Amino acid sequence: MAENLASVREEISIANRILSHEGVLDAFGHASVRHPTDPDRFYISRHRAPQLVGPDDLIEFTLDYKPVRPTTLRMYSEGIIHGAIYQVRPEVMSVCHHHSPAVLPFCISGAELVPVFHLGASMGTKVPFWDQQDEFGDTDLLVRTAEEGASLARALGENWTVLMRRHGATVAGTSIREMVFRTIYGCVNAELQWKAQQQGHVQRLTPGEASRGGTHNIKPGPLERAWDFWEHRLRMAGGHPNAAAKAKPAAAKARSAKPKRAAKRKRR
């Protein structure tokens, strides 16, 4: 169990960095994971830009966003978003909240974000719009209170992505990798929808296409292939949280392979 917990903590650190490296998160936004064996707890980083998050930055929280162990570390203002969704969606294991420039035009104009291509279906067949004004009037637009978090979670409903007026988006997944896939391709879909609309009327995928495409995309094959690609890009950029440890086996393999090739050449 401890090993599983360590690997989950490493994976959500990698997810924070992948989402930053792919341009979804910047100084702000965050990604969390539910505790693998205690559904009433989740992990999210201390107050830190997600590209810098490592396993040691993660703090364990109850679902009402109270730290399980007393801490003097500064915490994110909007961690309640994550806990509020974990409270009402037992199948959700990972959540991302972001302010990607890809989705913000939709958050500002109120235009509906709809799946327009096959991978875009991964963000969900319907993307609801949450307006904090409706229940809370003028705020600083941050989701700070349990009531605000619960309201956002209600707006998400049974969907996977919810847009937040003048603010950003929140995305859920049944695993870390599914959350990352939905988040990144939701942003790609938003960019493509906006660009295609410059060329004329854009029709969404049919409900059947969106449902079938979305179901296929998050199967293990596509999920793993995409995760490996994004993780490789992160490693090549030098931003992997565990670069040294992962580089060792490859280096050892290369060393052991060399003499064999040399011996072969000699025999020839």
Catalytic center residues: 78
Amino acid at 83: G
Q: Are 134 and 110 in contact (CB under 8 A)?
A: no
What is the spatial distance between Cα 211 and Cα 172, in angstroms, rounded to a whole number? 17
Edge to edge, the sheet with strand 168-173 lists 58-62, 41-45, 30-34, 94-98, 168-173, 161-164, 129-130
Q: What's the Cα-to-Cα distance from 74 to each of 60, 77, 84, 99, 262, rounded to whole Å? A: 13, 9, 20, 21, 56
- The distance of Cα 229 from the centroid of its chain, to the nearest Å, equals 15
Which residue is listed with tokens 């679902």?
A: 63
Q: Are 29 and 168 in contact (CB under 8 A)?
A: yes
Tally the C-alpha atoms within 13 A of residue 260's C-alpha that lie toward its C-beta: 5
Q: Are 223 and 177 in contact (CB under 8 A)?
A: yes
What is the spatial distance between Cα 239 and Cα 6, in angstroms, rounded to a whole number? 19
